[in-house]
């Protein structure tokens, strides 16, 4: 059974002075009697403060990015080994980084490799642009992203890449770019269709077990008001939440709804 995951992407918000208090508030407000995996991804400089605030809670800490090399002349960058002790999860391939830092599927695959090597649980983001959806290319685009990322990942020179990815606890976030930060979300049915496309694309690379086991999250203007539409879809296993993740009331509502899904899927009440 796949876990239900709610991950918060704080983007370039909060400071080391205020991030810990917000994280502690969200942790307290999102406690549910159901197996919901909660992750908060603050800016790099807030990882230590958030980690300290979440010590003793079940909420994990994630980074929002990681470099594709281990060390070297990369001014301003952070490598996977540097995140040891600061984060247990990491987002790779967010569309804002594809847009602003020119990240390609090939680069995202190499970042994924570094994350897995370092024992970080990756949240791998894929999703189409508005024009691609409007011209009927959404499925092909996302299929191509998965293929490109996993091809670059499979070039790994370490161990058995497939087994390592299987064991990494990786999740995929389907995030249609036109829905991120716009207040315009996909429908639950469209998100479920795309989750099927993602799993088929993973299976097509030979990773058949991973395709069935990997959680697929939806991301794009998720709120407490619309999370139910996504979690009603058996193919959707949670959400990557941006703007609403900075609001404790919203996070409380989102995780409470996720708790109902987690309880129902694990055969309990709810």
| Residues 257 and 227 sit within 8 Å (Cβ to Cβ) | yes
> Is residue 251 close enough to count as binding ligand PEP by CB under 6 A?
no
Contact pick of 43, 127, 220, 259 for ligand PEP (by CB under 6 A): 220
Contacts to ligand PEP from residues 30-59, by CB under 6 A = none
Nearer to ligand PEP, 207 or 217 (CB): 217
How far apart, in whole angstroms, are the C-alpha atoms of residue 101 and residue 202? 25
> Is residue 240 close enough to count as binding ligand PEP by CB under 6 A?
yes
| Residues 39 and 89 sit within 8 Å (Cβ to Cβ) | yes
Which residues neighbour 14 within 8 Å (Cβ) at sequence distance 6 or greater?
22, 42, 43, 46, 246
The CA-atom distances, in angstroms, between 57 and each of 27, 39, 242 are 7, 11, 21
Could you give the angle at the alpha carbon of 79 between the alpha carbons of 25 and 74, nearest 5°?
Answer: 125
- Partnered with residue 41 across adjacent β-strands are 9
Binding part of the chain for ligand PEP, among 76-84, 144-152, 164-172, 242-250 by CB under 6 A, reads 242-250
CB of 268 to ligand PEP, least distance (A): 28
Is 139 among the residues known to form the active site? no
CB of 64 to ligand PEP, least distance (A): 9
Residue with tokens 């407490």: 224
Which residues neighbour 53 within 8 Å (Cβ) at sequence distance 6 or greater?
19, 20, 21, 23, 24, 27
Contact pick of 42, 243, 253, 259 for ligand PEP (by CB under 6 A): 243
DSSP class of residue 125 equals E
Binding mask 120-159 for ligand PEP (x = CB under 6 A): ----------------------------------------
Number of residues forming the site for ligand PEP (CB under 6 A):
14
Is 13 among the residues known to form the active site? no
Binding part of the chain for ligand PEP, among 65-73, 78-86, 206-214, 215-223 by CB under 6 A, reads 215-223
Q: Which residues are catalytic?
A: 94, 175
Question: Which residues lie near ligand PEP (CB under 6 A)?
Answer: 9, 11, 175, 180-181, 219-222, 240-244
């Amino acid at each position: 059974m796949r876990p239900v995951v709610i991950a918060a992407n704080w983007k370039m918000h909060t400071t080391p002075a205020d991030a810990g208090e917000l994280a502690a508030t969200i942790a307290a407000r999102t406690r549910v009697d159901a197996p919901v995996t909660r992750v908060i991804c603050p800016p790099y400089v807030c990882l230590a403060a958030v980690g300290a605030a979440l010590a003793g809670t079940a909420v994990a800490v994630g980074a929002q990015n990681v470099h594709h090399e281990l060390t070297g002349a990369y001014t301003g960058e952070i490598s996977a080994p540097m995140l040891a002790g600061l984060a247990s999860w990491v987002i790779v391939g967010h569309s804002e980084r594809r847009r602003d830092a020119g990240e390609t599927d090939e680069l995202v695959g190499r970042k994924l490799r570094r994350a897995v090597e370092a024992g970080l649980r990756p949240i791998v983001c894929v999703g189409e642009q508005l024009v691609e959806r409007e011209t009927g290319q959404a499925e092909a685009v996302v299929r191509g992203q998965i293929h490109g990322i996993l091809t670059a990942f499979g070039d790994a020179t370490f161990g058995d890449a497939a087994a390592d990815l299987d064991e990494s606890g990786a999740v995929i976030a389907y995030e249609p770019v036109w829905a991120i930060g716009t207040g315009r979300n996909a429908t639950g049915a469209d998100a479920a269709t795309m989750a099927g496309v993602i799993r088929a694309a993973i299976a097509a690379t030979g990773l058949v077990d991973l395709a069935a086991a990997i959680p697929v999250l939806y991301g794009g203007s998720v709120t407490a008001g619309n999370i139910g539409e996504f979690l009603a879809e058996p193919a959707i296993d949670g959400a990557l939440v941006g703007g609403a993740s900075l609001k404790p009331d919203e996070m409380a509502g989102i995780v409470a709804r996720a708790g109902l899904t987690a309880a129902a899927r694990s055969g309990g009440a709810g």
